[in-house]
Amino acid sequence: MEINIRNIEPSQKEYIEIGCWRVNERVNEIVRFIKLKDGHVEAYKDEKQYRIALSDILYVESVDDKCFVYLTDDCYESRKRLYEFEELLPSENYLRISKSVVVNLMKIEQIRPALNGRFLCRLSNGEDVIVSRKYVPEMKEKLRGDRR
């Protein structure tokens, strides 16, 4: 596949164009990757609005009808619901691990046992999030992928 990068004027809008015979899974994968790098979400902190890159999100947690977006050192509140995050975040890298948490799989450093068939994910910032027993099979399937 040939890759072309062309410099454009600062006044012009940046774009990515893919030339292909047909849109197959490989092309879709590239599109999802670009969207992940380019995607963002609006969130709030101290009544100020921020744009957060999707790839920076460690996990999203729903607490009492409110959603909180956790980054390495910061936490923002979002007006979106958890199911909206599930739709928005690329399913390749994000996974629902309990009733209230969607985690970025790329930010997990280690998985350890908790009690009663649950697991703890140690994130890159040292925080732990719990994987409920109900979501463990889904996680196994996701991580094993085509290795099965």
Partner 1 sequence: MKDKLKNMLSSFFISVTLINIAMLVLGRLLRPDQQFGYEVFMYPLIYGLIGMIPALIVRDGKELTVRQTLIREAIRMVLTVVLLVAFIFGGNPIEKDTVITAVCVAVSVVIIYVGVVVIGWFLDKKTADQLTEDLIRFQEKQQNL
Query: Closest distance between partner 1 and the C-beta of residue 9, in Å?
Result: 30
Give phi and psi for 15, each to the nearest 5. -150, 165
Rg over CA atoms, the chain: 18
Among residues 3, 12, 21, 113, which is the contact residue for partner 1, using CB under 8 A? 113
Judged by beta carbon, residue 71 or residue 120, the one nearer partner 1 is 120
Among residues 23, 33, 66, 83, which is the contact residue for partner 1, using CB under 8 A? 33
Among residues 54, 93, 96, 102, which is the contact residue for partner 1, using CB under 8 A? 93
Query: Closest distance between partner 1 and the C-beta of residue 31, in Å?
Result: 12
Distance CA 53, CA 56 (A): 5
Among residues 11, 12, 116, 126, which is the contact residue for partner 1, using CB under 8 A? 116
Asked if 98 interacts with partner 1 (CB under 8 A), we say yes
Binding segment toward partner 1, per CB under 8 A, in 9-17, 66-74, 75-83, 99-107: 99-107
Judged by beta carbon, residue 41 or residue 129, the one nearer partner 1 is 129
Token pair of 26 as six digits? 């490989």
Q: Which residues bind partner 1 (CB under 8 A)?
A: 29-30, 33, 92-93, 98-100, 105-106, 108, 110-120, 130, 132-134, 136-137, 139-140, 142-145, 147
